[in-house]
Structure 1
Amino acid sequence: MMDDLAQRQLAAIAEFSAAARELNRSLWLRGGWAVDFILGRISRSHRDVDWFAESKDADALVDLLRQLGWTEVARAPREQQRDLVKGDLDFGIALIRLKDGQPFVGGGPYGGENWPATMISESRRCQLHGAEADVIGIEAQIEIKKMTPTWVPHLCRRQKDLTDIMLLKSALSG
């Protein structure tokens, strides 16, 4: 059974994904919700919804969300991530740049650093409870979850990330 927050997050994911596609803007789900879309089931509750988008599309996507009732909040350098809220819903849009299909961190202190090469090239469109979203590649998702505490030392390894890695590995082998 889905709780109320999960239902509203899922509806917001569906709405934002569909609207971005209508505008021909690239947008990829990442993090815990990406795991759930890959699995085809909700594995746990989620505090927020994490995305990747191309830096060149950031302003258009933020404007789109504003039209849908979202408010931008400043949490990270704007060239690195855009964060928006709507009541208790929270979207974090990490910005990337693509060069010859290779994704790079869009800006901020890690600007220009590589993201996993398969992040976008192996992305896929997935469905969950009638919602549809493009999701980053499974192997890239695993690498990001494994490496985040190394790349960003103040972010500790969390049990939910270890569980997500196990679930993603089983999805790869299944």
Structure 2
Amino acid sequence: MDYKNGTEEKDISKSQLKIIRELNEICLSLNIDLWLRGGWAIDFLLGKITRSHSDIDLVTWIQHREHLEQALVNDGFQLMPVSEFQTDFLKNNVDVSFVFVRYSDNGDIVANGFPEWVWRKDALPMEPYNLRGISMNVLNPYQLLEEKKVYEQGTGRTLRPKDLKSMEIIKRSLM
């Protein structure tokens, strides 16, 4: 189904955007820095919805984990702990995934529980992008590209067609 003509996909995007707005407001109220990653990050970078998304991917600092988890549970999100690296939530049939990062002993940004994944020094810019009245920080586009490489190396699975398309979109946006 073509996104532009698909009512179901528009409804899914509308639900996900509502959750993104809600998450952003919660984090702002708690003074927690938050970044979009994945497909929604690309859409915010471009200022338009490029396709339907299966979930919402976000990043924040590990020191905010407990406070954030409690705030989201209090707001009606269902907590689904995954690992040291990630916590997932569900609300209104929208899947939300948080990856937590920290500084390593030598000052690198690393994914918590996955210290061999060293992030770019400029991975987390405090530069909001806007989409449909929502203003969000987004991972650095180069970091978004590196995530795709890490996905393939870390999982041993080849990149999916949507990953290849995302990489092409990011590369074009960097030109």
Q: TM-score range by the shorter chain?
A: 0.7 to 0.9
Q: What's the CA shift for 1:133? A: 1.1
Q: Following TM superposition, by how much is the alpha carbon of 1:112 offset from its aligned partner in structure 2, in angstroms?
A: 5.3
1:46-65 equivalence runs, <5 A: 46-65=53-72
2:170 aligns with 168
Query: Is residue 130 from structure 1 mapped to residue 146 from structure 2 by the alignment?
Result: no
Instruction: Pick the aligned partner of 1:80 from 85, 103, 111.
Output: 85
Q: Is the 8 A contact 1:124 1:137 kept in 2?
A: no
| TM-score between both structures, scaled by the size of structure 1 | 0.88
Q: Which amino acid aligns with 1:163?
A: K
Higher RCO by CA contacts (8 Å cutoff, separation 6 or greater) = 1
Query: Which of the residues 108, 112, 115 maps onto 1:111?
Result: 115
Cα deviation for residue 101 of structure 1 reads: 6.5
2:94 maps to what in 1? Answer: 89
Segments of structure 1 that go 5 or more residues without pairing to the other structure are none
Cα separation, 1, equivalents of 2:69 and 2:38 = 20
TM-score (structure 2 length as normaliser)? 0.87
Deviations 1:125-163, CA, capped at 9 Å, x for gaps: 11101112111101111111233101321x431111111
TM superposition outliers: structure 1 runs of 4+ over 4 Å = none
Task: State the alpha-carbon separation in 2 of the partners of residues 6 and 32 from structure 1.
Answer: 11
Aligned residue in 1 for 2:15 = 8
Do the aligned residues in 2 keep the contact of 1:117 with 1:140 (CA within 8 Å)? no
Q: Show structure 2 runs of 5+ residues with no match.
A: none
CA RMSD of aligned residues (A): 1.8
CA shift, 1:123, in A, is 5.0
